[in-house]
Structure 1
Amino acid sequence: MKKTQCSLFILLIPFVVLILGLAACSSSSETRAISELPEKSSEEIEENLDMISAEDFIEAIQLNSLFLLDIRYANDFLESHLERSVNIPFSEVAERYDELPFDQEIAIICYGGSTSIQIAEELRDAGFHPVVVTGGYKAIEEVSSEN
């Protein structure tokens, strides 16, 4: 019986190696295909999104024309935020689309501006009207302190 088990095991080895080899090939070809996709430059991304400077943003919020979406972490939002802004951390935005208006421009605020661009692309693709605040909350604070 031990000889039979050993022979069976030896027969299975090539099949296991074949399956593992095929799995490795398929994952590396997927990786290769993804890496071959052209990367977008930040200029190309910004070109396809509505951007607003911190100065223009401050004027626009006085007109109540924007929905203010603060995508910073909750603890950062609690520490300091703009009146009327709604906090949905960036990692939760896709799960909480139902809390966002389709009929209003959404000003997206992160700390420095770069995460807002990623979220704005996602929102635009989902049918929303995002506007990226250039420089994020940091730029808004700077402009506010100058006034």
Structure 2
Amino acid sequence: MSENPQIPAVVVAEVDDELLAEAFVLDVREPDEWARGHIEGATHIPLGELQERVGEVPLGQKVLCVCAVGGRSGMATQFLGNEGRDALNLDGGMHAWQQAGRPVSLD
């Protein structure tokens, strides 16, 4: 369940291989959180840097925003939507991802 119904969101069970292949996965956690594991192929831009680095987030491609539990990624989703991106928040974040047994990359 999304904290804010106006922020487009998806739960881990709805994230299939097709979505992962199509989406630009954006992890907005801090560097130490990123280092402990992230979704393979994700791009790391901490939330505090997103405004100045928004140009790195593609237009015309779905953006799946990820953080630890969904709060920061919800803010990123809202910001990116206002910037013209098709952004989606991962409800439950990496905690839900890992609890569901989904793969985590340490690269």
| Aligned CA distance change for structure 1 residues 76 and 58 (closer, same or farther; 3 Å) | farther
* Equivalenced residues, count: 100
Whole-angstrom CA distance in 2 between matches of 1:84 and 1:71 = 14
Instruction: State how 1:85-100 maps to structure 2 within 5 Å.
Output: 85-100=42-57
Which of 59, 63, 67 aligns to 1:110? It is: 67
1:47 aligns with 2:18: no
Q: Which residue in the other structure is 2:34 paired with?
A: 77
Q: Which has the larger radius of gyration?
A: 1
Judge conservation of contact 1:58–1:140 (CA < 8 Å) in 2: no
Deviation at 1:57, TM superposition (A): 1.7
Q: Which structure shows the higher helix fraction?
A: 1
Instruction: State how 1:1-147 maps to structure 2 within 5 Å.
Output: 46-59=4-17, 60-61=19-20, 64-144=21-101
Unaligned runs of 5+ in 1: 1-41
Judge conservation of contact 1:68–1:106 (CA < 8 Å) in 2: yes
Secondary structure, counterpart of 2:15 in structure 1:
helix
Identity %: 24
Unaligned runs of 5+ in 2: 103-107
AA partner of residue 48 (structure 1): Q
Whole-angstrom CA distance in 1 between matches of 2:33 and 2:71 = 16
* Greater RCO structure (CA 8 Å; 6+ sep): 2
AA partner of residue 64 (structure 2): A
Judge conservation of contact 1:113–1:133 (CA < 8 Å) in 2: yes
| TM-score normalised by L of structure 2 | 0.85
Secondary structure, counterpart of 1:68 in structure 2:
strand
Deviation at 1:58, TM superposition (A): 4.2
| TM-score normalised by L of structure 1 | 0.63
Secondary structure, counterpart of 1:47 in structure 2:
coil
Deviation at 1:105, TM superposition (A): 0.7
